[in-house]
A and B are shown apart, each in its own frame.
Chain A
């Protein structure tokens, strides 16, 4: 009996030591991530740069986040209570959450951050124009009072990109229009900002005091565990160098690799490919304020009818696994997926285009189409589109600029008729730029306004979806914007990196990721 007890005891000791050794091996190391550029700032309130979001999400956290199905779930919030038929939301914060400066998060920090985001943030005004007030109604309680029931509020709070992350009160209340400085990069996230060395790297280190949620990790939600000692985001602008760097062991992860290399890298045992789930969408915005396309839906429909998106996507993106000629603005994986108006998408019917153009009174007037060479797929897409439009009899003036020039010119409605850009994945259609009346293109019609108001004020999910169907159908009828399709970027990483999968979220995240055993 004693012998048995001794064996059991030794076995237990062995298991404990082995488990400890395994954990120790998993934790540690420096993850080197090769990114395409440097972000202008990590101030998540004011910029919508994907690169900023990718890095900043490790440092800053918001009240809500998204799970793997892109449903908003609590992050810094513990619970919520809706009152007054959806006009009041009482949010209770988690207690004991510490900022990187050691201070405990409370409602005053949330209030100051929300107010700054509402005033100067990129997406803040979308929520704040529907809010009557935000108040700190307790040490750990924040109350949002809406002017009328506003359905997308939780999605807006959960969307990290240009979203309402929480800074300490003394940072948020002192910050205005200009981005906060690196000394003020203080969040509650699993990694802390350590250093920015321009041209070389942005360094994050593990937050040893991190208070993680206890639910299982799911998308951006649940338990966040910082396993690396340090993460370095290194700007490597050349795609060939990013690929060679991962192969040579100089980088562990590299983002945004060329479509042309996809097939060979997929077969290469020295790297793992991961396709981004959050599709980008090529979009052509039509000028509703001035020019030949103003208030001329029929001419816009004619342009839409002339185009076949498959060769456009094939030429601009490459392998079929990286694009989808889909006209639905929201992807199939979401509840928002809609077929409304899709019979007009990628019609590939030059004869119909000519007929519609004639009915619209088009007499060969010049149509200026602006695109940028700064994004290769913008330029490549428009090369094919312009050929197709010209073949259907349109007089297209294809103007090519760098991105900075294009976004400057598009602000002046006298200078263009169509411009090409792209839109990233958004969890709520209200965040599409064409839904905004101030975004270049300036789509403002009575029907759109009425539907947009109905969409924002409908709380029932099924009813909201029905309204969205109507809006998508209206987009295909009034054509404020023409979607070219979905395309998926892909990244590569070293096989030694564990915890990542064959597909990544919108912005790859590195908590819960390690170098394995």
Chain B
């Protein structure tokens, strides 16, 4: 098992290197000049060229990449062109919001999605199942910006219970009450993802319920509850855990619409804004970290399979 984990971690290095080369090449292939964007529409060509030189953007691409990579190896991801701050600092600052959103949204998704999915499967084709199926279809298909703006209208503008937007850092202020800023974004994110987990849990359980060993368990006289939980639910968990793992990473990295609607300083918005600003060091830094995160979550998901299914062995 340990040699398997070590091998997987070792294989991450070439993958990350490849990802960094691809991202670096692609972002530099897109037309657009960070110096021009920073200086604005009316900057003179001389002014733009001067800033390009000062930022080292006039150097050959392989030189720029080499300098960036040697910095990364030493833990220096460079300096953000737009923010004039170390990229790692900018990313870590945004990570606070993204991690909290991902964790709280995941809790909501699991707490709502899995039990309702089980209930729908157990009460297959009942009115309750039809109701949950209808609701999950609705929340899975509703655009997040629409849901977010309507929640904001109801809970912030009309009832004035929750703030519309922004997120003051808890790490800086120590104010845990700032979590109230995340309530609406987490509900907005959890709603469609819970709906997907409901449907996935339900369909996985219904698939497993047809298996011979479930029939055998029932024939042995096990109670319906024990059959549902110990045999059906546990064996259907593999696909659910796998989906939850990737949902977590997606929540960390790709919640750009929700972050924009609620004006949250998260990673998703940072990625999009950095691309529009052609802030090369920030884009490269984020992509590398997200790629690393994907690999780690993937490994954890794979390892969890062994816990869920004793037949799976890693060597």
> Which of A40, A245, A405, A411 is in CB contact (< 8 Å) with B82?
A40
- Whether, in the assembled complex, B289 has its beta carbon less than 8 Å from a beta carbon of chain A, the answer is no
Closest B residue to A404 by CB, please name it: B32
Q: Pick the residue among A47, A401, A408, A421 that contacts B39 (CB under 8 A).
A: A47
Whether, in the assembled complex, A298 has its beta carbon less than 8 Å from a beta carbon of chain B, the answer is: no
With an 8 A cutoff between CB atoms, is A352 at the interface? Answer: no
Interface-facing stretch out of A143-151, A212-220, A235-243, A444-452: A235-243
A407 — which chain B residues lie within 8 A by C-beta?
32-33, 36-37, 41
Choose, from A22-30, A132-140, A175-183, A341-349, the stretch at the interface.
Answer: A175-183
Q: B260, A404: Cβ atoms under 8 Å?
A: no
Task: Verify B265–A244 contact, CB threshold 8 A.
Answer: no
Q: Is the interface of A mostly helix, strand, loop or mixed?
A: loop
Whether the pair A200, B44 counts as a contact (CB closer than 8 A) is no
Task: Categorize the interface residue count of chain A.
Answer: 35 or more
Task: Judge whether B245 is part of the interface by a CB distance below 8 angstroms.
Answer: no
Does residue A368 face the partner (Cβ distance < 8 Å to B)?
no
Residues of B close to A41: CB separation below 8 A: 38, 84
A289 at the interface (CB under 8 A from B): no
**Distance (whole angstroms) from the CB of B79 to the closest CB of chain A:** 11
User: For residue B85, which residues in chain A have a CB less than 8 angstroms away from its CB?
Assistant: 198
Which residue on A lies nearest to B166, using beta carbons?
A: A234
Q: How long is the Cα–Cα vector from A46 to B35 in the complex, in angstroms? A: 11
Task: Evaluate contact between A238 and B41: CB separation under 8 angstroms.
Answer: no
Residues in chain A near residue B51, CB distance under 8 A:
46, 177-178
Q: Residue of A at shortest CB range from B279?
A: A40
A173 within 8 A of partner (CB): no
* Nearest CB in chain A to that of B155: its residue: A248
Residues of A within 8 A of B152 (CB): 240-241, 244, 248
| Count of CB-CB pairs between chains A and B under 8 Å | 147
On whether the beta carbons of B42 and A245 are closer than 8 Å, the reply is no
Q: How far is the CA of A199 from the CA of B169 in the complex (A)?
A: 11
Q: Which residue of A lies closest to B261 (CB)?
A: A238
A198 touches B276 (CB 8 A): no
Residue of A nearest to B85 (CB): A198
**Residues of chain B contacted by A38 (CB below 8 angstroms):** 82
Query: Does B54 lie within 8 Å of A177, measured CB to CB?
Result: yes
**How far, in Å, is A40 (CB) from chain B's closest CB?**
4
B157 close to chain A: CB less than 8 A: yes
A244 touches B157 (CB 8 A): yes
Among A118-126, A357-365, A471-479, the stretch that binds chain B is A118-126
B residues with CB within 8 A of A = 30-33, 36-47, 50-51, 53-55, 82-85, 90, 93-94, 145, 149, 152-153, 156-157, 160, 163-169, 260-263, 265, 269-270, 276-278
A residues sitting closer than 8 Å to B (CB atoms) are 38, 40-41, 46-49, 120-123, 125, 162, 176-179, 181-182, 197-200, 234-238, 240-241, 244-245, 247-250, 374, 401-405, 407-409, 411, 421, 433, 436, 438-439
Other A-B pairs beyond A237-B269, A238-B263, A250-B164, 7, CB < 8 Å: A46-B39, A122-B39, A122-B40, A178-B54, A199-B94, A199-B265, A237-B260
**Would you give 23 A-B contacts (Cβ < 8 Å), ordered by A?**
A41-B38, A48-B40, A122-B40, A122-B44, A176-B50, A177-B51, A177-B54, A179-B38, A179-B84, A197-B169, A198-B83, A234-B263, A241-B262, A245-B165, A247-B157, A248-B157, A250-B156, A250-B165, A402-B32, A404-B276, A405-B31, A407-B37, A438-B45
**A-B pairs, 5 with minimum CB distance:** A199-B265, A404-B32, A48-B40, A177-B50, A408-B31
